[in-house]
Amino acid sequence: MRIMCDQLNKYFFKIILLIVLLNFSEAVAQHENKTIRKGNELFAEKKFADAEKKYKQALQKNKNSKEAQFNLGDAIYEQKKFEEAAEQFSAAAKTSSNKKLQSQAYHNLGNAYLQNKKYEESINAYKQALKINPDDDDTRYNLAYAKAKLVQQQQQQNKDNKDKKDNKDNKQDKEKQNQEQKDNNKQDEKKESNEDNKNQKREEEKKKEGQNPKMSKEDAERLLNALNNKEKDLHDKLKKKQAQGVQVQIEKDW
């Protein structure tokens, strides 16, 4: 009989514990829902930062709340914090079992990527949304828009790459021309320097010639002949005087 009473006590204890847990869970859920509703009210009033705080409070109570997670992404998105919003939408899309919520999360994820000009990621997100809900015309329109923006982005990148290459080639050509001009200037300067040296040398030679004029071979021969002739004339005169001797006056014999 005692054993049966102990078993009954344990049974009643489990029931009481279960009731307490259910009541606690319900209280937590009510508090969570109340917090989310308050966040929704602030969101409707465009108080997005305040709404963000409320959704985060709800997630602190229940980190698996897909509604709080999705709404938090919306509040962050409206504050133009697209990277952070993308993280929230991605988490909601991957973990939600609610197909409608999952499709909307992928749609909003595509929008966040689109705002950051990540067009390929945006296209993939819209495609995921359409797999879940093929009748979503808004997603289909956004997908077409993202594809068009991707084509524009690629064309612009190709143009930028071409312009960059052309600028690089032009820069190299200009540098080559400048170098050639420098080389030509150096050659011209070298030629001018050589000409100046030659002119200076010629001037110095002319000065030397003016100080010590050179005699040509013909002039030297004429001068030598003139000297020889003068010396010969002088020699002949001396010889003639010697032949004549000294004149003596002779007296007449009367």
The pLDDT tens digits for 121-149 are: 999 999 999 999 999 999 999 999 999 99
In terms of average pLDDT, the best of 21-25, 95-99, 219-223 is: 95-99
Q: Is the pLDDT of residue 58 over 90?
A: yes
Q: What percent of the chain has pLDDT over 90?
A: 45
Name which CATH class applies to 82-155.
mainly alpha
The torsion angle over the Cα atoms of residues 173, 177, 178 and 181, rounded to 10 degrees, is 170
Q: Residue 219 half-sphere exposure, CB side, CA atoms within 13 Å? A: 4
| Helix (H) and strand (E) counts in the chain | 8, 0
**Average pLDDT across the chain, whole number:** 79
A 10 A CB-CB count for 118 gives 20
Where is pLDDT greater, at 193 or 93? 93
| In the chain, ranges of CATH 1.25.40.10 domains | 82-155
* Burial (0-12, 13-18, 19+ Cβ within 10 Å), 38: middle
| Domain topology for 8-79 | 1.25.40
* Nearest in space to 96 (alpha carbons), one of 104, 108, 107, 86: 104
d(CA 89, CA 114): 13
CA distances from 104 to 76, 96, 127 (A): 16, 11, 12
